[in-house]
Chains A and B, each alone.
Chain A
Amino acid sequence: MKDFNYHSVKDSKEASKLASSSSAFLAGGMTTIPSMKLGLATYKDLIDIKNIKKLSGIKVSGKSVTIGAATKHVEVSNSKDVKKAIPSLSSLAEGIGDPQVRNRGTIGGSIANNDPSADYPSACIALNATIHTNERKIEASKFFKGMFETALKKGELIEAIEFQIPEKSSYQKHPNPASRYAIVGVYVAKHKGDVNVAVTGAKSCVYNDKEMSKALSGNFSSSSIDGMDLDSSEMNSDMHASAEFRASLVVTQAKKAVDAC
């Protein structure tokens, strides 16, 4: 690992002031640190945002659950309020990585990184989340731009994620047996009026499967998507799963999610 400057900041203003083209924000460091260790990324400055008090914590209102960006996965999975308001979000957090990752990794870090097989981006899409940054509010549907790409501008810092509480929801993951990232993860959420079927792991970026959403909005039953033959042409293919297998898993996991709702 190359030498770098470490900064621990107390507020968002200080954080964005220090940000440059050769800096990175550091929350849990679950991706940043291994990338630096392997020489895949080098930064001149690491700006540690964990000590910004405002960024941690969970607030629940009648309509939404708002989670601070530096809130750890373990805090989300253990939160009674989250469990009550959106149980599927709590169980998603419980299924990320391993205990070490859950004790360090943060929701904001996961979303900002936008790994194509990360779990949280699917929650944002399914639960019509709003991403609050130090500059603006961004709708989840406009936030995730592509593989490891988001709408965030340089120096822009996620402060919180606001999830809309659905009527029913469930997240079902078929994990990569080695890394336990999602080979395919499907987050189904039934809101008043419509159903979101957010899919992670299958393509280069999380997406809402329109075809299944439409079918389930008409009839919220797994039978309405059973046997659906999804187009696999844009799906990922690697040594762990072919595109064809992923396409099948998307339907299977969506059915499981609907049944679990």
Chain B
Amino acid sequence: MASLVGSRVERKEDKRFLTGKGRYTADINLANQTYAIFVRSPHARASIKKLNIDKALKSSGIVSILTGKEIADDKIGGLIAGWAIRSEDGTEMKCPGNPPLAKDNVNFVGDPVAVVIAESLAEAKEAAEKVEVDYKVLKAVTSTADAMNGDTIHEGIDKNLCFDWLLGDRQKVKEAFDKADKVISIDIINNRLIPNAMEPRACVADYNAASEEITLYTTSQNPHLSRLIMSAFGNVAPEHKLRVVAPDVGGGFGSKINVYNEDIVCSWAAKKINRAIKWVAERSESFLTDIHGRDHVTHAELAVTKDGKFLGFKNETIANLGAYARVFGTVTPTYLFGPCATGVYEIPAAYTNVKAVYTNTAPVDAYRGAGRPEATYTIERLVEKASMELGIDKTELRIKNFPTAFPFKQTLVHTVDSGDYVAGMEKAKQMADYKGFEARRKESEAKGKLRGIGVTSYFEACGIAPSAAVMSLGCGVGLWESAEVRFNPTGQVTVYTGSHSHGQSHQTTFAQIAADELGVPIENIDIVHGDTDKGTFGMGTYGSRSLAVGGIAIVNACKKIVEKGKRVTAKMLEANPEDVEFKDGEFIVSKSNKKKTIGEVAFACYLPGVRDEMKSPLPEGDEPGLKETSFYDPSNFSFPAGTHIAEVEIDPETGHVKLEKYTACDDFGRIINPMVVEGQVHGGLAQGIGQALYENAEYDETGQLMTGSYMDYTMPRADNFPEFNIGYTCTHATTNPLGVKGCGEAGAIAAPPTVMNAVIDALGGQEVTMPATAEKVWKACKNLKKSNAKAA
């Protein structure tokens, strides 16, 4: 039987999605359901003086209006930060309460203060307009860089500072800098982004008064975690009385990891009114209230010798958390950021210091790449600047500082098990025709255009997160994954995974893995996920963890099935279990022609006992049935890496940046389905290039979101991109049995510095902040013209 792993198997989910048969949360309608509209703060920071619902209650079709008072009276808990971070001075991070409905204070535009529940959506909207809230507007804090100097947003949290965290050794870094021939320094902004999943958030909550069970259908990347948080911290219902279903979900990019206010409020309110409640976000609500991403202000320095050896690195960053610290809010700018700050280089001394601040803006949390794009942007912009200042070719300078052997023990935390960074660089250069660039630059110049080339070599730590590693770093939880492999008596297989697919093609790739492991045709394998009633537990999908953690759990559960199958076969064929081999779906007694198919074995497992000639095939001690579970906690992160090269052409008259060529050469370890991986790379690149050239979330000084619709927030479109030139090198991960690493975030991690390095190269080294919009680039071109004229 040919292996399915490694082949371009067509997606099992495509028929459903392409024929409109997907079932998203908004497609779910329950009998007698009501509709919810949230009344939200129009102010970035205010105290609530009075909230009057009398007029709204008289509106037609009203079922109930609930406010922050009721939710507090019912002792429903608030939203939480999932990871505890300690400051450099040893103090615990400071997190404000974040009630699902604000009672006393609102802290960003969109913070909900009441929910209006009505018989129809139109009636709910109509009534919501009649809810009267008397706000005392306070001065908002909106700037990341100045947040520590602003008014105190949350009582008792001085300087709006959540924590002041350090990773690394300041003294060693100082010594390294003292020895340096040269110090390269850079000030950069990692621009704020809005994830913009295609499907806006939604939830439908239902309550069964007889069983006292709440069922919540929601747009989540991790239904079990949502249930855990809502139960343990939200006090909504005990876990066994709360079912969370995340059906088809149309994209998440991290924005659907969080439990949101609406999930808690609708679940709680459904029980209160004893009816189902449906809420679907409008796009403008998504802009305002989905978590945002990035938003760092960084000063970084690299100490180098004159021949280009890196000696030391420091990174001083202010990270914006927004109004509240949410689930991955505190870990994203720390453990997902700091350990990757030194990139793919051997740098003997390094530290990263992060000050996480609150502002009156939407909460900032994990967005595709989460911390690693910010880290990579800093080091790769710095290395590119070093190459300019030292006059050393940008690829040679990088190679000079690559690790020479693997495992590669990094300065800060990680031990990278495998990789070949030089091979990746050489292949990328070849794919991009790096040598031919000067000729192309001259051609552009002849047309009056400026051409630049940019390089990024990146690695990232994904497959989050090994408990041993992260708990020793001080984090509260590790992130293992579970799988359950169930055989039906007639031989088909259902695989439950705790991962969640919201675009990642698990139905196909996980089936490929199980098909290879079990020797069962792929069409006989179903992948099930996204329902707390269907599997024991699951951590969900983010941090490129589905395959490297969830996939391995499936492999391990399959191996347990095979082990049991060997014992059963041995009993059936009167052989020793040690003599039974498994290959391509058949259990074969070695040195004989005796064998059983896995289907026969499964059937036998379900029919134990003695009748006439038929005797139980189950060995003593084995129970009937064929179902195995694995909880897999990885021994280490996985470390994809690669080199990307971009070429841009700039029209100095208009500032227009045209991305001419984009080459990505990635090492994802073993690839399960090249077609799916290409999709992931394309999507990641689109978002990374989007950050570099187009996307920007902008608040004005009063905290109003200026980019609250697609009229002003530039979502990149297909015509903004060239055809991507994609290639791979492959070193297998040594820390998991499949040798896989993870590919979901690489594009978003590598693309911003790659594109910006190209833009800045074209601009003769002049700094431009992301996104490199036409006006910024036009101004830089004017400066360049002036300085060139002076030089001449």
Contact = CB atoms under 8 A, between A and B. Distances in A.
A240 B778 contact: no
Given A245-B778, A252-B653, A239 B694 contact: no
Contact of A179 (B654, B655, B694, B711): B711
Contacts of A245: 655, 774-775, 778-779
Interface string B700-715: 0000001100111111
Interface in A206-261: 239-242, 245, 248-249, 252
Nearest to A251: B653
A242 B694 CA distance: 17
Contacts of B698: 239
Interface in B736-788: 773-775, 778-779
A219 B774 CA distance: 30
Given A239-B698, A249-B654, A178 B710 contact: yes
Contact of B654 (A178, A239, A252): A252
Contacts of A177: 694, 714, 773-774
Given A174-B654, A177-B694, A252-B653, A242 B775 contact: yes
Contacts of B712: 178-179, 239-240
Interface residues of B, number: 20
Nearest to B653: A252
Interface in A167-204: 174, 177-179
Nearest to A178: B714
Contacts of B710: 178-179
Nearest to A181: B711
Given A179-B710, A179-B711, A241 B654 contact: no
Given A239-B698, A249-B654, A252-B654, A178 B713 contact: yes
Nearest to B284: A38
Contacts of A241: 774-775
A244 to B, nearest CB: 9
B interface, by DSSP: helix, strand, loop or mixed? loop
Nearest to B700: A239
Contacts, number: 39
Contacts of B778: 245, 248
Contacts of B654: 174, 249, 252
Interface in B281-327: 284
A178 B708 CA distance: 11
A174 B774 CA distance: 10
Contacts of A174: 654, 656, 774
Interface string A45-89: 000000000000000000000000000000000000000000000
Contacts of B773: 177, 240
A178 B774 contact: no
Contacts of A38: 284
A174 B778 CA distance: 13
Interface string B670-700: 0000000000000000000000001000100
A174 B710 CA distance: 18
A98 to B, nearest CB: 9
B361 to A, nearest CB: 16
Nearest to B706: A239
A239 B655 CA distance: 16
Nearest to B698: A239
Nearest to B779: A245
A38 B708 CA distance: 13
A38 B285 CA distance: 12
Nearest to B778: A245
Nearest to A184: B654
B713 to A, nearest CB: 6
Contact of A178 (B284, B653, B656, B715): B715
Contacts of B284: 38
Nearest to A38: B284
A1 to B, nearest CB: 8
A241 B712 CA distance: 12
A73 to B, nearest CB: 18
Nearest to A248: B778
A95 to B, nearest CB: 12
A121 B54 CA distance: 49
Contacts of B711: 178-179
Nearest to B716: A177
Q: Choose among A174, A177, A252 the residue with the greatest number of B CB atoms under 10 Å from its CB.
A: A177
A221 B453 CA distance: 35
Nearest to B693: A177
A260 B773 CA distance: 25
Contacts of B774: 174, 177, 241, 245
B744 to A, nearest CB: 26
14 contacts: A38-B284, A174-B654, A177-B714, A178-B715, A179-B711, A179-B712, A239-B712, A240-B773, A241-B775, A245-B655, A245-B775, A245-B779, A248-B778, A252-B653
Q: Which 7 A-B pairs have the closest CB atoms?
A: A178-B714, A179-B711, A177-B714, A245-B775, A252-B653, A178-B712, A241-B775
Given A174-B774, A178-B715, 4 more contacts: A178-B707, A178-B712, A240-B773, A245-B779
Interface of B: 284, 653-656, 694, 698, 706-707, 710-715, 773-775, 778-779
Interface of A: 38, 174, 177-179, 239-242, 245, 248-249, 252
